[in-house]
Amino acid sequence: MAAGVARAARSGMSGKVDGMPGAPALNLTAVSRWPRLGVALLVAAYLVGTWAVAHSSLNVQSLVLVAAVFGVLAISLDLVAGILGLYSLGQGGFFGIGAYLTAIAVNNGGTSPFVMLPIVVLVSGAAGVMIGAMSLRVSGLYFAITTFIFTLVLTVLATDLQVTGGTQGLLGPSFPDLPDGFAWVGAPVAWCILLALLIVVGLIWSLRRSPLYPVLLATRDAEPFAEAAGVRTAALKIGIFGISAAIAGAAGWMFSFLGVVSPGQFDWSVSLNILVMVLVGGINTTLGPLVGAAFVSMFPAIVNINPWLQEIVYGALSISAITLFPEGIVGLITRRLRGSQPPAHIRPEAETKPRLSPAPPATGATVAAGAAGAAGASAPARLEIAVECRGIEFGYAVGPKVLRKVDLVVRRGHIHGLIGPNGSGKSTLANVIAGRLHPMSGSVLLNGRSVDGISPSGRARRGMRRTFQAAQLVRELTTSQNVSVGLYTDLPGILRRAPVWPFLPSARRDMLRVQKKSADAIRAVEADAWADRKIADVPHGVEQLTQLAAVCIAGPDIIILDEPATGLSSREVDHLAAILSQLKAQGVTMIIIEHQTRFLLPLCDQVTVLNAGEVIVTATADEIRAHPVVRQVYLGA
């Protein structure tokens, strides 16, 4: 398994590099506690270590710089595997693109290495975007296989083409020397590679501390939730995969200066080694990929025994680490450190007694104000009808139609109920209105405008938000972090600012605003006792309230709630009813799917009853209770 990295370590620094020592471990967890002084101290320590490596022996430089290059590669994979859940086996291919382009252009064309860096980044990134656009139509194992084939094809081309030197490869270019007056600095290639590693680590560290990070995790674990918050998830995945490919290409640019560029250094086994680095060090951690890269790349050089036995020992250690410590080395250390400290910002009584009693009037006003937002002030000028469905028909590939000629009119500021037996088409109609399903015929209008063909994220940007019957939340994030996802469309420039977020004064102000609005939204639904607990550790009722808070924080004027009372106690149902009544008082339009008619009917202005995909009747709650057909097919009387 370590063969690819071993070849890289043996061929790297073939007598022409002065490098850098093992980069001092950047304790980026501590940086979150320290302000700018902590960052400055860590950077200063890193620069001192870089200076030491730049003046060390060639053997030390070779060992450390190869580890640093693979550290960049591992970070590039963790960006998509850890944060987005996309296990790419194409990193070796992008790595090879960067190395071969640099070696060919510098050696044969006389191009400056520094001119090649942006070219390599752009070409690798563009290749990543194209591969991502094609392969992200599938997921899981199929995505991994698609990217694996990409690497395999590039390896075959590199082996057969004359321009790449065939199986012998190419001699990498020499890194430019500094002027004579700067000889005291040491090996320039060491400074280049280790500063590049520092920059990449800094970008990922900043990304993890920005409001974009919860959004990325929501895209990974709860994509419907992210789409309902206005996130263009497909474009976001492709963009992040392109950035990951660009970083891998930059790693190839750096590696080309360390020795020979040959096909064996970029084949499928290298892609697997990179994945092992991430898993051993700790997936979805800032420092984990670096720890894993150091272990995998340095192991063949440090454990210098029989190659066959070396591979066995390496494989046994890797398998043991992955199976015994699935969170990786850094994840294990982090869990142990957190386990020795009491949870922050949680009152002891909150662990056993969440506050789910009906909200007082002032709190209700806060909820409604957050949900209605600017819509309340301009409601008189808007159309009376908020949502309209005209002749909706929907069916799957096989079987009868789920919806047949469904007409629905939801007036502004009303609570409109959807009831009916299981399989009557209620959730299907909600998904059609929200944009997750496209009808075979018919049209959906929001505020008098057709939204046919508009994605769920596009409809969310037009003022529609929704909750789900089975809570779509990120279990590893806290309640407040999940709620903050709802503010995605409210943060200008979140994508371009995320890589440098902690260093921007405007971003820090925005983060404080996000934290305050999240806290207010959670407090408004009376779940603030659980604000700092992970969703995996909260009861079902708090999950439902978290969904509602994530919806209300965005200030929508239309909300779809799919069975919000499912699994709640009678006390929690009463609390939910109080919140929804307060939202209605502020002019928020709601469509509620619910089986608990005792909860739903007193809230509704109008109720539509579906049966077998057809509308039986739309009327007031009292008329629904008295309707003979409804009593027969649904109410059971």
In SS3 terms, 246-285 reads as HHHHHHHHHHHHHCEECHHHCCHHHHHHHHHHHHHHCCCC
Which helix (H) or strand (E) segment holds residue 153: the answer is helix 141-160
Task: Count other C-beta atoms under 10 Å from residue 138's C-beta.
Answer: 12
Asked whether residue 138 carries a pLDDT value surpassing 90, the answer given is no
Q: Indicate the range of 207-211, 321-325, 347-351 predicted with least confidence.
A: 347-351
34: left (phi over 0), alpha (psi -120 to 50) or beta: beta
Gap between the Cα atoms of 115 and 593, Å rounded? 59
What are the Cα distances from residue 194, in Å, to 8, 44, 46, 99?
17, 13, 9, 17
- Distance between CA atoms of 72 and 436, rounded to whole angstroms? 37
> How many CB atoms neighbour CB 313 within 10 A?
14
On whether the CB atoms of residues 224 and 237 are closer than 8 A, the answer is no
Q: Are strands 449-450 and 558-562 parallel, antiparallel or unpaired?
A: unpaired
Reported as a single tens digit per residue, the pLDDT across 293-307 is 998 888 777 777 667
* Interacting residues of 613 by C-beta distance below 8 A, sequence separation 6+: 400, 401, 402, 403, 404, 406, 424, 425, 428
CA 176 from centroid of its chain's CA atoms? 39
Tell me the whole-structure pTM to 2 decimals.
0.84
CA 21 to chain centre: 33
Q: Give the residue with greater pLDDT, 320 vs 374.
A: 320
Out of 150-154, 352-356, 536-540, least confident range: 352-356
Q: Which of 263, 267, 262, 254 is nearest to 116 (CA)?
A: 254
Tens of pLDDT along 90-114? 999 999 999 999 999 999 988 999 9
- Of the chain, the percentage scoring pLDDT greater than 90 comes to 49
**Cβ contacts of 248 within 8 Å, gap of 6 or more:** 72, 73, 76, 77, 91, 94, 95, 98, 124, 128
CATH class entry, domain 361-477+554-635: alpha beta
Cβ–Cβ under 8 Å, residues 527 and 542:
yes
Pair 418, 608: CB distance under 8 Å:
yes
Yes or no: domain 3-338 corresponds to CATH 1.10.3470: yes
- Given this model, what pLDDT does residue 135 score? 80
Q: How confident is the model at residue 231 (pLDDT cuts 50, 70, 90)?
A: very high
Query: Which among 320, 317, 319, 321 is positioned nearest to 309, based on CA atoms?
Result: 317
Average pLDDT, whole number, for the chain?
83
Closest CA to 154 of 3, 264, 259: 264
Task: Look at 134-148, 149-163, 492-506 and tell me which has the smallest mean pLDDT.
Answer: 134-148
Q: What is the pLDDT of residue 636?
A: 56
Q: How many other C-beta atoms can be found within 10 angstroms of the C-beta atom of residue 242?
A: 21
Q: What is the pLDDT of residue 258?
A: 92
CA–CA distance, 381 with 411 (Å, rounded to integer): 14
94-to-69, 328, 339, 351, 561 alpha-carbon distances in Å: 13, 25, 39, 48, 44
| C-alpha dihedral sign at 236, 245, 477, 369 | negative
Model confidence band, residue 23 (pLDDT cutoffs 50, 70, 90): very low
Determine the Cα–Cα distance for residues 392 and 335; give it in Å rounded to an integer.
Answer: 51
* 1 has pLDDT over 50: no
| Domain chopping of the chain, boundaries | 3-338, 361-477+554-635
Strand 415-419 and strand 449-450: pairing?
unpaired
